[in-house]
């Protein structure tokens, strides 16, 4: 795990996390900006989940309020975690239908992008779709597979998560729509995915996804596109680990991005 400047907030004796006025103001800035950004671009299933969650605009929601919606919908809950957690803990949580949420919010200096997933990314980006049975089933299956996988196989599984849960797109009868939380929580990535001529959009093929390198610190050069959110049911029913073994035998595609510059020591 890499170091982080952020520290997750803990609940007080009353069970409530008391955020500062500045933290609540940052949440309001982020949610109002991103609601305008995803309008007409987010998939219908995400927007339905957002309606069910009724996220407040004026301040950071409490995790218990999220759980009161998620649990009766799909059996999922959110769980408070530190700013960064191990892969083992991450997979344990998903396998138990608990979605990790780091209870800190980014600073104004990193309003547009930060590498650590903060509470805005997790709650706004992912939780609305956890009300959807297909997305919930896929995420649970992914957690169970990751928990049992060896470190090398987890690297291949990470690509599946990246190109679906984080940066997935749909081609719907009404146009291209977002379901990936990494896009839904980022104004830059949202505009890039819809307005830039640079990215390549490929039909989802699980072998291709498992063989595609990515970087977390750049706009995505490749997006994989499903026809429907219900396709996640079909993917969850595949023998995904057999596909991982096949991808390992075939090897990775050549990266479509430049290598990351090493910082001078």
Please report, in range form, the residues annotated as the binding site for Fe cation: 121, 126, 166
Residue with tokens 């001078």: 264
CB atoms within 10 A of CB 211: 18
Tokens describing residue 238: 């595949």
What span, in angstroms and rounded, lies between the C-alpha atoms of 176 and 193?
Answer: 10
Distance of CA 125 to the CA centre of its chain: 6
Cβ pair 102, 82 in contact under 8 A: yes
Q: What is the DSSP string of 12-52?
A: -TTS-----HHHHHHHHHHHHHHHHHHTTTB-HHHHHHHHH
Annotated binding-site residues read 121, 126, 166
């Amino acid at each position: 795990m890499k170091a982080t400047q952020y520290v997750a907030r803990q609940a007080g004796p009353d069970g409530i996390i008391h955020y500062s006025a500045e933290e609540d103001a940052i949440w309001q800035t982020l949610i109002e900006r991103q609601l305008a950004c995803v309008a007409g671009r987010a998939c219908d299933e995400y927007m339905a989940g957002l309606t069910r969650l009724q996220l407040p605009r004026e301040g950071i929601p409490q995790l218990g309020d999220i759980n009161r919606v998620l649990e009766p919908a799909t059996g999922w809950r959110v769980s408070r975690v530190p700013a960064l957690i191990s892969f083992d803990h991450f997979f344990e949580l998903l396998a138990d239908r608990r979605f990790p949420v780091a209870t800190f919010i980014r600073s104004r200096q990193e309003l547009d992008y930060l590498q650590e997933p903060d509470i805005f990314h997790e709650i706004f980006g992912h939780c609305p779709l956890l009300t959807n049975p297909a997305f919930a089933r896929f995420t649970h299956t992914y957690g169970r597979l990751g928990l049992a996988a060896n470190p090398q196989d987890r690297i291949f599984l990470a690509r599946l998560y990246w190109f679906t849960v984080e940066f997935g797109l749909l081609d719907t009868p009404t146009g291209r729509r977002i379901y990936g939380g990494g896009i839904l929580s980022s104004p830059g990535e949202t505009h890039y995915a819809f307005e830039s001529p640079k990215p390549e959009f490929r039909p989802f093929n699980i072998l291709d996804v498992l063989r595609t390198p990515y970087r977390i610190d750049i706009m995505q050069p490749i997006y994989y596109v499903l026809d429907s959110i219900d396709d996640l049911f079909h993917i969850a029913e595949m023998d995904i680990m057999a596909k991982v073994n096949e991808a390992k035998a075939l090897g990775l595609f050549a990266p479509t991005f430049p290598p990351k510059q090493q910082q001078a020591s």
